Amino acid sequence: MEFGNLPWQLPNETAHILVRIVQEGMTNAFNHGRATRIDIYFWRMDGDIVVTIHDNGRGSSIWSKGLV
């Protein structure tokens, strides 16, 4: 996990949202992708927080844009 330029102190609501995003990403990587390694990066850009989750799991040959 790398925190980039993210401040160490965040509002509680923001911190809770980030925890849930990372939790969901890790759950999907382990359960669906069978990942054995997950890298998580945080970066603050133009007032936004960018979270990037990379894993070594198997991908899917079928995907669609948006919520299913």
Give yes or no for a contact between 50 and 43, defined as CB atoms under 8 angstroms apart.
yes
Which residues have CB under 8 Å from 41's CB, separation 6+?
A: 1, 2, 4, 50, 51, 52, 53, 54
DSSP strands (E only) in 1-68: 38-45, 48-55
Write down the pLDDT at residue 64.
77
**Domain-wise residue ranges, the chain:** 12-55
Tokens of 18: 């980030």
Above 80 in pLDDT, residue 45? yes
Write down the pLDDT at residue 63.
74
Above 60 in pLDDT, residue 68? no
4-42 pLDDT tens trace: 999 999 999 999 999 999 999 999 999 989 999 999 999
How would residue 1 be classed by pLDDT, with cut points 50, 70 and 90? very high
